[in-house]
Amino acid sequence: MARSLKNPTIYEIYPRSFRDTTGTGEGDLRGVIDNLGHVRDLGVDAVWLAPFYVSPMDDGGYDIADHRAVDPRFGTLDDVDALIETAHGMGLGVIFDLVFNHTSCEHPNFLAAIDGDEDAAARYVWRDPKPDGTAPNNWLSFFGQPAWTWNHKRRQYYFHQFLSCQPSLDLRHGPVQDDHRETVEFWCARGVDGFRMDAITSYLFDTSMKDNPPASPEVKAKVSGADFNPYTWQDHVYDMLPGDGAAFGATVRDWAGPDKWIVGENNSGNRAIELSRNFTHEGRLDAAYPLLLGEGGGDPRTYADLIARMDGDWIAPWWLSNHDVARHVSAHGDGTAQAAKFFALLLSVLPGSLMLFQGEELGLPHPTLSKEATRDPHDLLYWPDGPGRDGARVPLPWDDGPNGGFSSGTPWLPMGWPAGLSVAAQDSDPQSVLSFYRRVLALRGQAGFPDPDTVSADVEGAVLRLAIEAGGASWRGVFDFGDRIALPEDGETIVEVTGPSRFAARLSRV
């Protein structure tokens, strides 16, 4: 995917839940290869593959033991090569996940550090305890647990910004940067077109390691995460992004070269757009998406605020669902096909890049899993009020047969999708959510919505109004999140979403 491709539409594939070709109950790379036609037909520009690297899967694959090897459960390097070749033959770019903040605790370097290898230990963040044996400071992990775990063999604490099985790397350390550079070069040599960089705002920390202060009410309202997570009670001024943090994006750009499209995950709700802007300065990343939409996508003011704050510099891609959050049709909508179409139309007209998640094109609602069926540690930590990550990862229904056509074995998460939601059921139905996605994504490209001349947004009550100048035409979008207004009929109606649901919309050319 050439970097000249501006503001692409990206489709995220979570391989473990896409399609299984071996009967293990877990999706694999061959399942991705065999079903890329479905993605191509949506009209997207590229696929983003969530991690398929060697991992104990303690955090859904984001705990990596080898960044340059394929976990056997997903396939082989030959499958990676075949996937890239197949995607390119369909005109699709391929984006891989880079998880540079941490490794798995089963990574050879971390195991060596525990065994006393000081060179290996220097790759991570080890600190002595305070004189009373407690942790070096008050920092909390993103999931709300203490960010320090004691290791009795080293008689030290190690730092982890996520789970204790994900020890943080010292990204200022030369050998760590050398390893990461080799990882980028390895995948670039195999033909990958870009990278999605996990948790970029967690990469670096203040070496003073001072205690974080309490969050003021204003800061607490913006820190990403639910209020019951104590992480939101701190102002993260020392454990995230000192002055050289965003500049690390230039280092990654140097490694990848000028032609790769690189997007970062900005997991800081505080000053989110400002941080994304810093990460996307000339010579850094192409885009950086904040978590704000995954949390506030049901509020029309969220969209208007982001449009105003970006002010024509569309550096923060739009998204509503991914592997880390509850599916938006339920989280921000009412679970209906009408709500799915409403959000699809809204996303399709927004300026800049767009990131979709597998299954949203089917209008999949968020499934409810029992505690016994849940595997995700974040969901279990706050059960039943967790983020719903496992629900988002329930495998895709390809047909209405056994296991939804996903696997001949027992799916790794239980599938209980209602009949009629599968790809096969929706494929030839012109009124289906799938057909609607194909229609509005085609319109998105034809009308030039990703790169408009101007966009303005106005909110009144629960109604968002957009005025767009793009492709030599004037467009008006009215999106009613629940006020049940009479939709205006000015101009030529191009797309309309109406029905019994409280979510209604109309896009007109005026």
Q: Which residues are catalytic?
A: 198, 265
Which H, E and C letters describe 257-313, residue by residue? CCCCEEEEEECCCCCHHHHHHHHCCCCCCCEEEECHHHHHCCCHHHHHHHHHHHCCC
Going by C-beta distance under 8 Å and a sequence separation of 6 or more, which residues neighbour residue 365?
Answer: 327, 329, 330, 335
For residue 58, which of 95, 21, 102 has the smallest C-alpha distance? 102
Please state, as a whole number, how many other Cβ atoms lie within 10 Å of the Cβ of residue 345. 25
Cis peptide before 384 (omega within 30 of 0): yes
Q: What phi and psi, each to the nearest 5 degrees, are found at residue 286?
A: -80, -35
Beta-bridge mates of residue 504: 480
Tokens representing residue 152 in the block? 């009795």
Which 3 state secondary structure label does DSSP give 238? coil
Q: Which residue has the tokens 């943080």?
A: 168
* Chain centroid offset of residue 414 CA: 23
* Strands 354-357 and 93-98, bridge-based pairing: unpaired
Residue 80 · residue 399 · CB < 8 Å: no
For residue 368, which of 423, 420, 416 has the smallest C-alpha distance? 416
